[in-house]
Amino acid sequence: MASIEGGDGGGGHKKGPGVKKAKKLSTHLDMTPMVDLGFLLITFFIFTTTMSSPTTMELYMPKDTDKDDEQNKAKESGALTIMLSKDNHVYYYEGQLKEDASNFLSTNFAGIRKVIIDKKKAVIEAHQHDAGCEKIWAKNGGDKKSCLDKDLVVVIKPGELATYKNTVDILDEMTITNIKRYAMVDLFEAEKILINKTEGN
Amino acid sequence: MDMTPFVDVAFLILTFFIMATKFKPEEPVEIKTPNSVSTKELPESDALQVTFDSTGRVFFSVLSEKDPMVKYNVIKHMNDTRSLGLTEAEMRNFVKAPAIGVPFSGLKSLLAVPAEEHKNYKQPGIPLDTLGGELFYWIRDAVGTFTGKQLKYLIKGDNEAKYPAFKQVLNAFKKNEIFKFQMITALEDAPAGSELEIIRKREKAGGH
């Protein structure tokens, strides 16, 4: 194939005794080491590269306030409280927690989305025409429909045993279900006791 | 056998990886961040980052890709206000260090170690309490050196970290009158059929 033709062994035409044949060098190189190195580099880059670029999720916390009149008031009909506990357990109740805890329900991260969506639907259905709110939205060039769920407030209460992943997941759930008003606060004593009772400690 | 096309493709892949690779900055702890549907990009400069791992150890770092002097100013300011007694070389070392996770009392001995070896140095984490602990001072002094710049505050937490650790980090920021954070997460798609997916599709269609 790529052999260097040497001497006059070949069957070409004969040249005179004084004519030296120009030495033809092969153009074929052994590329194996280069290819080896190439693959080594590929392997290196595959291992070191980070494909999924990190993103950031925004979180706005309110300023802590003790003054009663500065606290945001939530309508009972539109409130949904979600509590996070150990082993990805999620508890929730609508409105106020009843004395007998009959509205204290348990679910998990797969089920909580439906709870939020159902609550949102219920709030939108119960919505009464609010001219004041619609005026504000119309003035700012927004969608009047944003008034429909203005009473909906989700209160997120991560417990001591909830993980950071749980917290981020539930905040993410707010983005997914497009909840505009939500707050992250601490558990009440009564809720802590209920969770402990449910989990059997 | 002619291997030329094969080698061609291999080198094409190699080129792609060289172009696409961005080395992640070295960190003293490995953090597995949670996923979120958020698409906002991570800032590289003018940001303070607080990292906490699964055991609740807290680390502090200043991100200033463009200007290393920013980091130097932060440590110089810290050295003056908290009388840490750092030498010039130790402050230079801080600029190269990826993240700091020691109490003020241990800072001098950490910075005596070259920055490249910090990942082998056992760092106990910055002490925290409900009032913010030493992290409060780190944030306050770092913010103080960044006058006139829009700073971003990043929080990077491990999946398995408990909520109280996160809350204490938030408290340290809140004590500094900082209420807007960015939590570092890995990207995941909006779930099919969700309201968010519908909104994003609509935005996409409207944009064209």
Q: What's the longest Cα–Cα distance across chain B?
A: 72
Q: Would residue A46 count as lying in a domain?
A: no
Nearest chain A residue to B49 by CA distance is: A56
pLDDT for A7 equals 44
> DSSP secondary-structure letter at B194?
S
- Assess if residue A70 is contained within a domain: no
Measured CA to CA in angstroms, residue A157 lies from A92, A189, A191, B63 at distances of 10, 12, 10, 31
CB under 8 A, 24+ apart: contacts of A184-188: A184/A61, A184/A156, A184/A157, A184/A158, A185/A155, A185/A156, A185/A157, A186/A157, A187/A83, A187/A157, A187/A159, A188/A97, A188/A157
pLDDT, residue A16, reads 62
Q: Do A38 and B22 touch (CB under 8 A)?
A: no
- The predicted-structure confidence for B14-40, as pLDDT tens digits, reads as follows 898 888 777 666 677 788 888 888 888
Stretches where chain A sits below pLDDT 70 are 1-16, 50-52, 64-74, 130, 141-145, 201
Q: Name the CA radius of gyration of chain B, rounded.
A: 21
Question: Looking at residue A10, what is its pLDDT?
Answer: 44
Q: Which of A60, A82, A87, A164 to mutate to test the interface with B (most CBs of B within 10 A)?
A: A164
B67-95: average pLDDT:
81
Shortest Cα distance, chain A CAs vs residue B57, angstroms:
13
Answer yes or no: is A154 within a domain: yes
β-strand pairing of B58-64 with A153-158: unpaired
Contact A148, A139 (CB under 8 A): no
User: What distances in angstroms separate CA A103 from CA A94, A151, B21, one per listed residue?
Assistant: 7, 20, 52
Domain that holds residue A159: 75-199
Give the residue from A55, A160, A195 with the most B CB atoms within 10 Å of its CB, the best one to mutate. A55
Which ipTM value was assigned to this complex?
A: 0.80
pLDDT at B198: 82
Q: By CA distance, what is A171's nearest residue in B?
A: B36
Q: What is the pTM of this model?
A: 0.76
Query: Would you state the pLDDT for residue A9?
Result: 44
**Residue A35 · residue B7 · CB < 8 Å:** yes
Q: For position B72, what pLDDT does the model report?
A: 84
Q: Confirm or reject contact between B154 and chain A (CB < 8 A).
A: yes
Domains of chain B, residue spans: 45-188
Residue A122: HSE in the Cβ half-sphere, 13 Å Cα cutoff: 15
Q: What is the pLDDT of residue A72?
A: 61
Q: Which residues of A touch B37 (CB under 8 A)?
A: 172, 175-176
Q: Which residues pair with B181 in a beta bridge?
A: A59
Query: If phi over 0 gives left and psi between -120 and 50 gives alpha, with beta otherwise, what is residue B193?
Result: left
N residues, chain B: 208
**Averaged pLDDT for residues B46-53:** 86
Residue found by looking up tokens 């003054």 in the block: A67
Q: For residue B65, what is the DSSP state?
A: S
B145, B189, B168: which is closest to B57 by C-alpha? B168
Residue A118 falls inside a structural domain: yes
- Can you tell me the distance from the alpha carbon of B135 to that of B100, in angstroms, rounded to the nearest whole number? 11
Per DSSP, the residues of B5-39 read: HHHHHHHHHHHHHHHH--PPPP-SS---PPEES--
CATH of the domain at A87: 3.30.420
B27 vs B11: which has the higher pLDDT: B11
The tokens for A192 are 């802590």
Integer angstrom CA distances of residue B27 from B51, B59, B100, B120: 10, 10, 10, 11
**How many domains, in total, are found in chain A?**
1
Residue with tokens 């939530």: A74
Q: What is the pLDDT of residues A32-54, one digit of tens each?
A: 888 889 889 888 888 877 666 77
Contact check, Cβ <8 Å, B40/A56 = yes
Q: What percent of chain B has pLDDT over 90?
A: 0
* A38 falls within a domain: no
